[in-house]
């Protein structure tokens, strides 16, 4: 995927994710405040039931236990929320990738991906597999340009692959192929994407 398109897509998705992250953090803070408020009521009961000295010792011990438990639970909930948020962003990315064909730059992106695949693969004759919705983009003019640029025989496969954007480049003997669908690119870069999202949201999640 061309860098500028990838950056535009990533930035838009991350901005939405940051907004959701802020809401999650606010919810976690309110929950921590609720736990501490309940703890104060419990400490008041200790003071009423015990002698002042005993009550003070018990209250300090119980207070430390409650604070430690609250911090642990808050951190746990934030980590769970962060994981859920990352999964939501990845799901959003996959949905956006299916919509990208509406972008005016998509035909150029498609040519770029196909050319890259043809350059990487050894052989002389290849067929291009795209989604049924993308067959209209693979014109004779595009194929002729690819043939000229790569000095390879390139045809549009009779086979289509539903549910993808981008292209699969396959040698006509079916022995080698290069999958440059956005969905496979995303899968290959899944760990990198998760790290990027976590880094972008880390300051918000803290």
Token pair for 150? 């790569």
Among residues 114, 17, 34, which one has the least CA distance to residue 70? 34
Encode pLDDT of 91-102 as tens digits. 777 777 777 888
The answer to whether residues 117 and 185 touch, using CB atoms and an 8 Å cutoff, is no
Q: Name the percent of the chain lying above pLDDT 90.
A: 31
Distances (CA, A) of 85 to 8, 66, 94, 124, 202: 20, 28, 14, 45, 12
Q: Residue 165 and residue 98: Cα distance in Å, rounded? A: 6
Distances (CA, A) of 158 to 113, 131, 140, 155, 161: 19, 11, 14, 9, 10
Q: pLDDT class for 205, splitting at 50, 70, 90?
A: very low
User: What strand order describes the sheet that includes 166-171?
Assistant: 153-156, 125-129, 166-171, 177-181
- The per-residue pLDDT for 206 is 44
Token pair for 106? 């998509």
Q: pLDDT class for 63, splitting at 50, 70, 90?
A: low
- The per-residue pLDDT for 3 is 43
Q: 151: which DSSP letter?
A: -
Q: Judge whether residue 114 has pLDDT over 90.
A: yes
> What is residue 149's three-state secondary structure?
helix
- The per-residue pLDDT for 64 is 65
* Crossing angle of helices 3-49 and 52-99, rounded to 10°: 160
Task: Say what the pTM is.
Answer: 0.60
* Crossing angle of helices 190-205 and 52-99, rounded to 10°: 140
Encode pLDDT of 124-164 as tens digits. 999 999 999 999 999 999 999 999 999 999 999 999 999 88
With a CB cutoff of 8 Å and minimum separation 6, the contacts of 69 are: 35
Encode pLDDT of 31-57 as tens digits. 666 666 666 665 566 555 554 555 566
Q: Name the percent of the chain lying above pLDDT 70.
A: 59
- The per-residue pLDDT for 101 is 83
Q: Judge whether residue 119 has pLDDT over 80.
A: yes
């Amino acid at each position: 995927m061309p860098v500028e398109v990838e950056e535009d897509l990533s930035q838009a998705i991350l901005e939405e994710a940051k907004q959701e992250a802020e809401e999650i953090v606010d919810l976690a803070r309110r929950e921590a405040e609720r736990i501490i408020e309940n703890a104060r009521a419990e400490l008041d009961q200790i003071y009423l039931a015990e002698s002042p000295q005993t009550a003070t010792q018990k209250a300090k011990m119980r207070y430390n236990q409650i604070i430690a438990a609250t911090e642990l639970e808050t951190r746990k909930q934030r980590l769970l929320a962060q994981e859920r948020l990352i999964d939501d962003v990845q799901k959003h990315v996959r949905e956006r990738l299916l919509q990208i064909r509406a972008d005016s730059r998509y035909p150029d992106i498609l040519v770029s991906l196909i050319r890259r695949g043809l350059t990487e693969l050894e052989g002389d004759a290849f067929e291009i597999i795209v989604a049924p919705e993308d067959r209209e983009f693979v014109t004779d003019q595009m194929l002729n340009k690819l043939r000229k640029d790569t000095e390879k025989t390139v045809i549009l496969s009779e086979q289509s692959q539903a549910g993808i954007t981008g292209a699969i480049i396959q040698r006509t003997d079916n022995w080698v192929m290069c999958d440059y669908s956005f969905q496979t690119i995303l899968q290959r870069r899944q760990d990198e994407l998760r790290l990027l999202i976590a880094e972008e949201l880390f300051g918000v999640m803290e």
